[in-house]
Structure formats: structure tokens, C-alpha cells
Chains A and B, each alone.
Chain A
């Protein structure tokens, strides 16, 4: 079943990062195995002695995927605005994964700068995909500003701790039924992604959990399957939990020795 991000139709619900892989070749194969159609990437200062960035970029260009540049490393709306404009020129896209960090310890997004940034970028024609915490009000405000896509974290970037606060994430889904919700950051294992999809999230964005696996290509496939399973489970309609046991085998016609006399 298709879905869309800012009008771009997609069939796969995994957005994948391009960092931390053992090599550009493994990155390419893992991305291919994941079936992902959207890949994140970034910008940094040109260092002539370091060719790895150029190699990765060459591999990404060959894959023909939709690019989602991020604003990693930014700590203010002003920095974001400059970097976003540079990204738009290089990558030729209005899409921007808005990251603006407020704390160096847990890399938590700064909610004040995030809102300021989102407003500024939207006014300049960007299609903003903000990375934020699982705070309902921040998500709501970002949506009200015009972010069609909201990307709350599962847990801090790169921790692999999974869904720290399922209640918050479920509440965001329930309160923002029309927003495109993508769970971003902190996912550690395929079941984390599956749970997010079972909650009704539209997609999952992850990087470390695949790139840092012993076998990134196999893990990419595992995530693709988990996301597909969770998505189908949600669409199929998950049965409500019940407080008491209910026999699944029909009780009519049970053996005579169970009959009451």
C-alpha cells in the first residue's frame, strides 16, 4: 500500500541513513536490501585529505533514491537556515530533515529553536521533516506551522534503546490523525520498528541499528520485514486487549466428563 511524503508517493515505509557503515559498498547493499526509497545524508566542511564523503556521495547518487538531507550539528535556527540553503543547492531538493540540538549529552532537539526554524524554512519553501522529542505539544505546534511530517524520537540518537515512552508515541498518533508520523532515532532492533508501525506510524527512519549490526545487509532485510509486518498488522486491525481469558476453542460439544451434572 502506498503512502506519501509531501506528495511524493512511496511504497516502502523505511527511511534509511547512510552513515556508520563499514564501507560504501556495504552501505549500498544494505540500502538495497532494505528496499528503502528515501536516504538521509548531510553536509560538512570540505576536507581535501578525506575522500570518504565523496565516495559515499558517489554511491548514493548511483542508487537514484529520494534524498533527505539533514541539518545535523546545528544548534540554532540561524545555523539551520544557512545549512538548509546549502543543502538545497547541492542536493536540488526542498526536503530537509530539521535537526537542531539543544543538549550535547543526549542530543535532544531544542524545542524553541525547532519551532523558530520550522517557521523560517517553511516560509522559504522548504518541505520540513522535523526531528523532535515525543512531546505532544511540540509535535502539535510543528504540525500547526505547516510540517505535514513529524518525526518524534523513539529514544536519543544512536542509543538503540527502542521506544522509551510508548504512551507518548501512541498519544501523538491519536491526537494528530492527519499528520504523517515517522518514528526517528533510537531504534535498536526490528521489533522496535514493528511496534511503531503497529501503533499506526506511517514510517520509520533509522541508521545505526542497521549500520552497526554484525551483518548490516541481513539486518536491513530484517527491518524491512518487521516494518511490513507491523504495517499490515495495523491495517488489519489489532484485536482489543481483554482483562479476562476467553477460550478460543468452542466450548459447545466439549467432552462429557466436563459436563455439569
Chain B
């Protein structure tokens, strides 16, 4: 099935949980360091990634620290 990660379409396993998808995405995109995640604009705490199931069309936002004023 397809989901959107930071607005880009990605194909993931039907049975994949959020933790699986994040692990694959981090490895493929060489993402390092701290990040936090929202699923369909709702915050998902790190401790809940493994229990969070996904549906086709879900929107995942991965956010990282940047400079700010």
C-alpha cells in the first residue's frame, strides 16, 4: 500500500507498523539524529511506534531540529 512520508509517496508492506516504516525510511534516506513523528497530523510518541498500524493514504511527517527565532 502507499503512504505519504513528508508529502512523498512511498510503498510499504500492508502489515507494516509505523516503527517498520520509519526504520526503512531512515536507512534508505540516511537519516541521522533526533526526529519526532506525526501521523495524519497527530503526534505519535516514540514509545508507540511499534503499536501504531498504518492504512493506505496515511500521512507521516518526520520532523527534525532546525534553527529558529
Contacts and interface: CB of A to CB of B under 8 A. Distances in A.
Q: How large is the interface on B (under 10, 10 to 19, 20 to 34, 35 or more residues)?
A: 20 to 34
A3 interface: no
A157 B66 contact: no
Nearest to B29: A48
Contacts of A78: 41
B9 to A, nearest CB: 15
Contact of A46 (B42, B46, B63): B63
A56 B66 contact: yes
B55 to A, nearest CB: 19
Interface in A2-46: 17-21, 27, 40-46
Contacts of B67: 17-21, 27, 41-42, 52-53, 56
B19 to A, nearest CB: 15
Interface residues of A, number: 40
B35 A90 contact: yes
A104 interface: no
Given A82-B41, A86-B37, A43 B31 contact: no
A39 B62 CA distance: 23
A89 interface: yes
Contact of A207 (B46, B63, B69): B69
B20 interface: no
Contact of B65 (A21, A53, A79, A208): A53
A91 interface: yes
B6 interface: yes
Contact of A86 (B43, B66, B68, B69): B43
B64 A44 contact: yes
B61 interface: yes
B38 interface: yes
A42 B66 contact: yes
A53 B38 contact: no
Contacts of B66: 19, 41-44, 52-53, 56-57
Contacts of B7: 45
Nearest to A67: B65
Contacts of A86: 36-38, 43, 63
9 contacts: A41-B68, A43-B36, A46-B31, A53-B64, A56-B67, A57-B33, A57-B34, A78-B41, A90-B34
Interface of B: 6-7, 29-38, 41-43, 45-46, 61-69
Interface of A: 17-21, 27, 40-48, 52-54, 56-57, 60, 69-70, 72, 78-79, 81-83, 85-87, 89-91, 157-158, 206-208
Given A18-B68, A48-B31, A86-B38, 6 more contacts: A19-B69, A42-B67, A45-B7, A45-B63, A48-B30, A70-B68
